[in-house]
Structure formats: structure tokens, C-alpha cells
Structure 1
Amino acid sequence: MKHGQLATKELAEFVRERAAIEETYSKSMSKLAKMASNGSPQGTFAPMWDVFRVSSDKLALCHLELMRKMNDLIRDINKYGEEQVKIHRKTKEEMVGTVEAVQALQVQSGHLQKSKEGYHAKCLELDRLRKEGAPQKELEKAELKSKKAAESFGLCIEKYNRVGGEFEQKMSESAQKFQDIEEAHLRQMKQLIKGYSHSIEDTHVQVGQVHEEFKQNVENIGIDNLIQKFAEQKGTGKERPALAGFEEYMTALAPEGGKKSRAKAFRIPGLVHAQTRKQWGLYHEAC
């Protein structure tokens, strides 16, 4: 179970590193978009910088969104890690009986081995006495010891088998419990990885759409459009200037022989001389 907790922590660290990479990438694309916005506004190519700026901004947003999804996934992993610790703690409490069964079997195994060695030693001693032709009384005494050792060994075997049966039952239950926990752990980890995979897949789809939009925008802005837009911005008007005609030079004639020329009276438009008005009035009365 401790390996499961370690795997959960390592997965969280991995996703955290991926989120940091996406954040760095997003910032780099934002910087690139700013660079495009600072492109020279002069010349026929100038409108293309706006296409680069929009595309870079959208890519930055795509990777920023992926970073947020990674952070959400980290929270889910950490939450699972906390639940995992609680499950493991509860399982350890439930395994107390299994631990006691293991300890009991270890103790009984030691007793059984000791009893077996004692029984074999007594039998070996009895065989030696028989081969050496020991007195009957000494043989009977050795036989009694061998018999008692056999009985003790038999009791140890019986107890060992009983403890072994309890151990087997507890271990079987515990092993099933451990397997259930590991299967649930692997299912949860795969579910988290699936979320990781889907987030990246969605971002790749969005990035592909941005690239496709960029390609279409570049294709839609034709050379004629760029030149026309430049002409509209820099042009001085659509009307052609009027054709110029030859104007003959007119000179002012100077007075001859000192004669004074009669100058025309200066008149203000709309202003009629008083005498003229009087003549016009007599004329109308006669009529």
C-alpha cells in the first residue's frame, strides 16, 4: 500500500511540472503576440502582423487553459491521496488479527522445530544404547523419554496445524482485501490519467483550430488586398487633378505723352448712384 501512496505523490509532481511547462509556454506566446503587435505599421505587409498577433494570443489562451486544467487535476490527485491515506489507516486497523496470526504461527513454528529436534535426539540416544547393549533399566528409561518426546512433538504438530489454519484464513482474507485496495487504486489512477489525456487532447484540437484559422486568414488576405489597403491609407484622393491651360499674359498700358487716362469710377456692387435712381424713377412714372 505504501507504494500506492508514493505513486500518487509522484503523479501529482509530474502533472505539476506539466502545468509549469504550459504556463511558461503561454507566457512565451503572449510575449510573441506583443512582438507582433509592435511590428512596423509601414508598408504593404503591415496588416499581416495583426494576423500573427491574433493567432499568438489564441495559442497563449489555449495553453493557459491547459495549465488550469492541470492544476484542477492536481487538486483531484491530492484529494485522492488524502482518501487513500484514510483507507490504508483503516485497513491496518482491520489487519490486527492477521498480524497476531502471523506472530502466533512464527512462535509455534519455533516450538515445533525445537520439539522435533528434542524428539529426534531422544530417539537417537535410544538407538545408541541399544547398539551398545546397555542395561535393560537404562533402555526402559531411554524409551520412556523418547515416548514423552514423541507425545510432546505430536501436540506441537497439532497446535501448529491449528494456528496454521487460522493464519491461512486470516491471510486469505487480508490478501483479498489488499487486492481489492490495489485494484481500486489502479482504477482511480487510470481515471486520473484519462483526465490528463483528455485535457491534452482537447488543447491539441483547439491549437489545431487556431492554426487552421491562421492559415485561412493568410490565404484570404490577397496581395491585391494588401496593396489596395495601403493605397487607401496613403493615397491623396481619388479625383484626378484638372488639366492646366495656357493663360496669355496681359500687360497694363502706360499713359501716352503724359496724358491722364480717365479712370473708371469705383463702384461697390449693389450700390446705385443717387442720380441714376432718380432717372429710373422718372422713367417709371412716365410709363
Structure 2
Amino acid sequence: MVLNRSSESRHLSLVPDLRREVFSLSPSSRLLASGFCSDILSTIGYDNIIQHLNNGRKNCKEFEDFLKERAAIEEKYGKDLLSLSRKKPCGQSEINTLKRALEVFKQQVDNVAQYHIQLAQTLREEARKMEEFREKQKLQRKKVGFPYVLRLQSAHLFWSSFFITKAKKIYEQKCRDKDEAEQAVNRSANLVNPKQQEKLFVKLATSKTAVEDSDKAYLQHVNALEKIREEWQSEHIKACEVFEAQECERINFFRNALWLHVNQLSQQCVTSDEVYEKVRKSLEMCSIEKDIEYFVNQRKTGQTPPAPIMYENFYCPQRNAVPPGKASGPNLDPDYSTIGDYSLLYQ
């Protein structure tokens, strides 16, 4: 069946541009909104995003490998078809119009083989583009510094939180010591021993100083952790925005690459059908009568059949000529010799 232009345009439709859909949404509206966790030490949200991006890279690599293997198949098929067309005889003794049709057929099979080899080269080029795209996104992710973000989350936050916990425990213990010292001073108000009261006041003063020092240390650790948390959150927001933009770009690129691949396969079918249409047209020019007439004109040997075969009698060659059809069966004609014409040697 010959593909008309409408079917060809349907098969070779243009790749739709998804960028309008991609950039109509805020880059931080999805990954960022779902990438946080209430636990300051948890990395599960970020880990999920990174895992998804890694899966995307893996999917691109799988499609890249698919294109390479398809290219190898197309190249092998093209070379095998080319070898078949050039080395295998196919009606080589035909003549005239059918011979010309077969020559067109062999030439167009040769062309189809070349088209498959060209398609293999095109597929390898598309695989190379996919590989370059993967490497480009890999470098972009490194520039974002997501290892640094992970380090902020898993290392700085963890150790800072550890120091805060320790400082908080010290601070709370110093506060309890101060409260106990105050209670001891209050209970010793009626005591007449000035040395004991002096010791209690000294202990209270020392506990107050310890509370102030531990409070400052605790506050410093909290402020340091909050600063790190703000820095991490800022980096996390930037990373999520970049990662979502990358994912939008990857989906768009992957979809367009697949669309283009299908278009290339459709174009191969359309081109092959156009080539075979030339063979069909050459077959329409084939004429049985002309081929037979051509053979007769080239191989004719004459129009006169052989003369009738005459019977000639050995003894009477002039009288015994028998026309065809009368030389078979017994004949008692007197022209034939009889035993009376001979003498018997033995009597």
C-alpha cells in the first residue's frame, strides 16, 4: 500500500514543545513543598529527591543503550540486505521488460539497505546526544553542591545538635543547682552560724555564675545551629529549584527524543514504500507479449520446418518412394522382392 501525504504527515508529526507547560508552573511548587521533614536531623526528603533524579539518569541511560542496540540491528540488517542485493542472483537470465523491472528491484533493494545503514548512523547520533545531555545534567548537579547540602544535614546539624543537647543538659543542671542553693539559703535564714550562711551564699553566687555561663554556652550553640539550619534551608531551596528545573528539562528532552525516534522509524517506512513504489511502477511496464516477441526476434532460427521423411526402397529407389504415413505395416505390393527372385543354394 502506498502512503499518501496525509498519512505521511500524520506519521511524521512535529515534536510538541512542552516548555510552555514546564515553565508555567513554579519550579519550587512541588519538589520543595514535598522535600522537607519536621525532624531537623532527617534527610529522607532530600534522599527521595536524589533517588528520583538518579532513577531519571538511569532511565536516560537505558534509552541510550536501546538506541545503540537498535542502531547495531539496523546496521547489520542493512549490510546483510546490501550483500544479498549485490551478491545473490535474482532472475539474471530474464530479458527485456521483466529484466528491466528486476534491475530496478535490485537497485531499490540496494537503496533500502543504504537507508537502514544511514538510520543506524542517525540512531547512534541520537544516542550520543542523550549521553551528552546526561553528562551535562550531572555537571549541573555537582555545581549545585548537593554533597555540601548533605554534609550540612548529616554532619553539621548532627554534631551541632549533639553539642546543643550536651550544653542544654549542663544548663539545666546548673539551674537546678542554683535553685537548690537558693532553697538552702532560705532554709538557713534562722541559723546563727555565720560561717554556714557564708558558705551557702558563696555556693549560691557560684551557682548563679555557673547558670549564666551555661546559659551563654547553650545560647551560643542554639544560635550556631540556627545559623547552620538557615544556611541549609537556603541551600536546600536552591537545590530543589535546580533539581526540579532539571527534572522538567529531562522529561521534556526524553519525551522529545522518543518522539523523534518514532518519527525516524516512520520516515524509514515511508521512504521504503516510496522506493518499492518505483519497483511497482517498473512492473507495470512489464509486457508478456513484448518479452515473448523479444525472445523470438533474438533467438529465431527460421520459419521453414524440416521436409517430410521419404521411404526409399533399396532395390527400387525410384519406384518405392512412399509418402509419409504409408511406410508402416505389411505391404504385399509386387514392387517388393520375393523369394522367387533368388535361387536356393540348398535344394
**TM superposition score normalised by structure 2:** 0.51
Query: Of residues 102, 105, 110 in structure 2, which corresponds to 1:57?
Result: 110
User: Any gaps of 5 or more consecutive residues in structure 1?
Assistant: 130-134, 245-287
Is 1:26 aligned to 2:91, yes or no? no
Match of 2:272 in 1: 207
Is 1:104 aligned to 2:169, yes or no? no
% identical aligned pairs: 20
Match of 1:41 in 2: 93
The higher relative CO (CA closer than 8 Å, separation ≥ 6) is in: 2
Hey, what's the Cα distance between the residues in 2 that align with 1:84 and 1:163?
Answer: 28
**Do the aligned partners of residues 96 and 13 (structure 1) sit closer, same or farther apart at CA in structure 2, a change above 3 Å counting?**
closer
Is 1:171 aligned to 2:236, yes or no? yes
- C-alpha offsets along residues 31-80 of structure 1, whole Å, 9 cap, x if unaligned? 33235535351689963643542342222122122122223334434444
Hey, what's the Cα distance between the residues in 2 that align with 1:127 and 1:207?
Answer: 94
**Do the aligned partners of residues 236 and 42 (structure 1) sit closer, same or farther apart at CA in structure 2, a change above 3 Å counting?**
farther
RMSD: 4.7
CA shift, 1:124, in A, is 8.3
Match of 2:121 in 1: 68
CA shift, 1:162, in A, is 3.3
Q: Which one-letter code corresponds to 1:76 in the other structure?
A: K
The structure that is helix-richer by fraction is 1
User: Any gaps of 5 or more consecutive residues in structure 2?
Assistant: 1-49, 182-186, 189-199, 308-347
- C-alpha offsets along residues 183-216 of structure 1, whole Å, 9 cap, x if unaligned? 3344344444444333222212101222333344
**Do the aligned partners of residues 51 and 146 (structure 1) sit closer, same or farther apart at CA in structure 2, a change above 3 Å counting?**
same
Query: Of residues 57, 60, 64 in structure 2, which corresponds to 1:12?
Result: 64
Contact 1:44 1:227 in 2 (8 A): no
CA shift, 1:115, in A, is 3.4
CA shift, 1:19, in A, is 1.4
Moved more, 162-171 or 40-49: 40-49
**Do the aligned partners of residues 162 and 78 (structure 1) sit closer, same or farther apart at CA in structure 2, a change above 3 Å counting?**
closer
**Do the aligned partners of residues 44 and 125 (structure 1) sit closer, same or farther apart at CA in structure 2, a change above 3 Å counting?**
farther
Q: Which one-letter code corresponds to 2:65 in the other structure?
A: E
Hey, what's the Cα distance between the residues in 2 that align with 1:90 and 1:215?
Answer: 59
Q: Which one-letter code corresponds to 1:173 in the other structure?
A: K
Q: Which one-letter code corresponds to 1:71 in the other structure?
A: R
CA shift, 1:88, in A, is 4.2
Q: Which residues of 2 match residues 1-287 of structure 1 at below 5 A?
A: 3=54, 6-34=58-86, 37-41=89-93, 47=99, 49-81=102-134, 83-92=136-145, 98=149, 101-102=152-153, 103-118=155-170, 153-236=218-301
**Do the aligned partners of residues 76 and 230 (structure 1) sit closer, same or farther apart at CA in structure 2, a change above 3 Å counting?**
farther
**Do the aligned partners of residues 232 and 36 (structure 1) sit closer, same or farther apart at CA in structure 2, a change above 3 Å counting?**
farther
Contact 2:167 2:217 in 1 (8 A): yes
Hey, what's the Cα distance between the residues in 1 that align with 2:83 and 2:221?
Answer: 80
Hey, what's the Cα distance between the residues in 1 that align with 2:59 and 2:298?
Answer: 63
**Do the aligned partners of residues 52 and 112 (structure 1) sit closer, same or farther apart at CA in structure 2, a change above 3 Å counting?**
same
Contact 1:122 1:142 in 2 (8 A): no
Q: Which one-letter code corresponds to 1:70 in the other structure?
A: L
Hey, what's the Cα distance between the residues in 1 that align with 2:84 and 2:220?
Answer: 85
**Do the aligned partners of residues 64 and 119 (structure 1) sit closer, same or farther apart at CA in structure 2, a change above 3 Å counting?**
same
CA shift, 1:141, in A, is 9.4
Hey, what's the Cα distance between the residues in 2 that align with 1:208 and 1:37?
Answer: 23
The structure with the larger Rg is 1
Q: Which one-letter code corresponds to 1:61 in the other structure?
A: Q
Contact 1:26 1:60 in 2 (8 A): yes
